[in-house]
Amino acid sequence: MTSPLLPILSIASPDDAKAIAELKVICWRDAYKGLMPTASLEGLDALDEEPHWRDWLADEASGLLARLLWLDDVLIGYGLAGPMRLGDRPGKEIEADGELYALYIHPDFQRRTHGRTLLSSLIEALILEGYRQVGMWMIGGNIRAEQFYLKLGAEEVTKRVEIHHGRITYREKGWIWRDLPKLSARLTLRPV
């Protein structure tokens, strides 16, 4: 009898740009179906996304913490965090020093603790970098994600009415965890 494959965590590099871009397209089409225009989601193109990912992952000054989750040689999840981005949300910024930029798991691998594994790795990295709290912006109406974050103690702190991402427009909500060690302990103690 063979044992099931265990996922492997890794730190992302510019060489992972293509795999991340491909997974982003899959995850966005699944997570945001009905929340964004179908034509916009269908118009997402991994080839267009790849240069952005390669540049961001190569930018050592950005403070980006990027973690990947692999099953065999297939990327099944990615998570990104770093310093809170300021200036593009006048009057609505989240008062946190860190930000969770993204946490995505391939739809075929959700609800198996993979998101928890990625988030735990990112929170540990943020704590090691000296961050005390972490905020995030999430597309409104993504009920699965909201339930996941609420179970982990996230507080909704603000709403952002409209965001433009290329040709796509959507609504966002702001969330925060005010105590990273407490979140880290919660991730370690019980499954979500």
Alpha carbon separation from 65 to 12, 51, 151 (Å, rounded): 8, 18, 23
Q: At what angle do helices 46-58 and 17-31 cross, to 10 degrees?
A: 120
Domain ranges of the chain: 8-189
Range 8-189: architecture per CATH: 3-Layer(aba) Sandwich (3.40)
Instruction: Answer for the pair 137, 172: CB distance below 8 angstroms, yes or no.
Output: yes
- What's CA 77's distance to the chain center, in Å? 9
Strands (E), the chain: 8-11, 65-71, 74-83, 98-105, 134-139, 155-165, 168-177
- The tokens describing 86, both together, are 């300021």
User: For each of the chain's 192 residues, which pLDDT tens digit applies?
Assistant: 444 578 889 999 999 999 999 999 999 999 989 888 888 889 889 999 999 999 999 998 889 999 999 998 899 999 999 999 875 655 667 888 999 999 999 999 888 788 889 999 999 999 999 999 999 988 878 888 888 889 899 998 876 655 555 566 667 788 899 999 998 988 886 554
What SS3 state is found at 154?
Answer: coil
Stated pTM of the model: 0.86
